[in-house]
Structure formats: structure tokens, C-alpha cells
Amino acid sequence: MPALLQLDRVTRRYALPRRSLLRAPAPLTAVSNVSLTLARGETLGVVGESGSGKSTLARLAMGFERPDEGAVCFDGKDLARLSKPELKALRPRFQMVFQDPYGSLDPRRRVGWSVAEPLRVLRREEPAVIESQVNAVLERVGLRVEDARKYPHEFSGGQRQRIAIARGIVTSPDLLIADEAVSALDVSVQAQILNLLMDLRDDMGLGLFFISHDLQVVSSISDRIVVLRQGEIVDDGPTDDVMFRSRNAYTRSLMAAAGWRAARDGQSAATDR
């Protein structure tokens, strides 16, 4: 069976603005030679500092952008080789949750309308079918059916992220890509949303591609972790190996910055949690 998501030596460059008439600037390499795989029911965490290429990786995995080199495959299909209708047909199976729910929720639309949007756009279901699916998915993420009639501003940040997740799972996808999905939330609300994502992964057999600058958050949800630095993978492995047995100096500096004493002291951190 092919991996749910596979990136094979993916590189993405951006042209920089031209400052001189004589010389074009060298392009910026946002993602460089990245290979990774994600299986069904698994959570792969990507951690890296600001500018390390995390969001570029998310856009590549969603097929919003094409790599300059390498391939991004969903369920064995190279996204760059699909026609627009083929990509659209595949879309319901991989969806995304962003950091800022206002990015995906239209403040002027009722919540039910926004949650239903992927069904309307991608599947063209009957209104009654859509309504019952929206109601089911709102309850699944811990909201009420009546909430469908409210507007985004009537909810707290955590509830809005639940709405964004409801929208992300309404098409029953196989893969959910979460880009800084809990970064804007308080720690206690973060924990609730992480628990919800783990429940959904287990119940639906979702593959989770979980991207964050926060190593603590990434380690709490991921089976495996990839550490990204300046667009390159510098470390990867099962979560406990990366967290507590990594010899990589950069990973250890991230851990020290996140407050793990053992990373600073260079001891086994198993007792340090």
C-alpha cells in the first residue's frame, strides 16, 4: 500500500525582488531536498523555527504549490502530474487546518455555512445531506448543532479552532494537515484541541501532518518528528528518540530553549519530564 503522504527530495525556491538592473538575485530556497513519509493513522510532526520552511512544506503537501524539484505524492499519486479536475476530485481526502481560524472562516457567514463549504465545493451534495453532515461534525468536535447558526465572533479562540477542525474533517479526509493549529491558543485550550485531534486521528484513522514551531506541542502529539532548519531536515525519528536520544546539536538547542534541562546538561532526559 502506498504511503498516505510522501515527499521525495522536494525543493522549493522563491524568486526574490530584483534590486539591481544588472543582476538578478539568487532565488531563496525555502525547502531543500526534503523527503518524508506519513502513514494512515499516524502523526508526523514537523518542528522548526520561524522561516525554516514549515508553511511552505504545508502548501506543497496540499498541492497549493508545486515543487521545483522532487515529488509530492498523496496515496501514491504525484500531485504535480494530476490535472485540475483530478486534483479537485482528490481534495476531499486531504484537508488543512490553519493557525488563524479567521483565515478559513468568513466572519460574515454563519458557522454552518463555512463548515459546509468543502462539501458544497468539492462534492456537490444535496442541502439536506450537507446539513446533517455539518450537524454531526459540529457535535463530533464538541460543539452544538445550534452553533451552526452563529457567527465566528460569537465563539472563543478554542471554539473557533474546533469549528476550523470541523470544516477540515467534514469530507471525512484521510489526511489532515495542521499548520500551527494550536499556536494562538492558551496552554489549557491547546491541550483540549490536541486531545481532540488525537481522538479524531484514532477514530477516523486520520493521518496527521502536524506542523509547529513549538517542540513541546509537537512532541505531545507526534509518533515521529522531523526537525527542519533553513529548509532542510536536520534530524528525524520516533518522538522519544528525537526528544531524548538525539545527538543533533540543533535539536538539543531547541529542547534547551523549550526548557528541557537534560538537553542542556547532556544527560538522559527520561527522568526530566
**Where do contacts with ligand ATP occur on this chain (CB under 6 A)?**
14, 28, 30, 48, 50-56, 213
The strand pairing partners of 45, in sequence order, are 210, 225
Which CB atom, from 48 or from 158, has the smaller least distance to ligand ATP? 48
Query: 77-102: buried (b, 16+ CB within 10 Å) or exposed (e) per residue?
Result: bebeeeeeeeeeebbbebbbbbbbbe
Q: Three-state SS for 15?
A: coil
Least distance (Å) between residue 268 CB and ligand ATP: 30
β-strand pairing of 175-179 with 94-97: parallel
Which CB atom, from 7 or from 170, has the smaller least distance to ligand ATP? 7
Distance in angstroms between the alpha carbons of the first and the last residue of the chain? 37
**CA dist., res. 212 & res. 47, Å (int):** 5
C-alpha cell at 249: 546539536
Which CB atom, from 36 or from 200, has the smaller least distance to ligand ATP? 36
Least distance (Å) between residue 71 CB and ligand ATP: 19
β-strand pairing of 69-74 with 43-48: unpaired
Which CB atom, from 140 or from 213, has the smaller least distance to ligand ATP? 213
Burial of 25 (0-12, 13-18, 19+ CB in 10 A): exposed
Which CB atom, from 194 or from 211, has the smaller least distance to ligand ATP? 211
Least distance (Å) between residue 226 CB and ligand ATP: 12
**CA dist., res. 203 & res. 110, Å (int):** 27
Least distance (Å) between residue 69 CB and ligand ATP: 16
Least distance (Å) between residue 44 CB and ligand ATP: 16
C-alpha cell at 30: 525555502
Least distance (Å) between residue 103 CB and ligand ATP: 13
How is the chain split among helix, strand and coil, in percent rounded to 5? 45, 25, 30
Which CB atom, from 49 or from 75, has the smaller least distance to ligand ATP? 49
Q: Return phi, psi of residue 142, to 5°.
A: 90, 15
Least distance (Å) between residue 228 CB and ligand ATP: 7
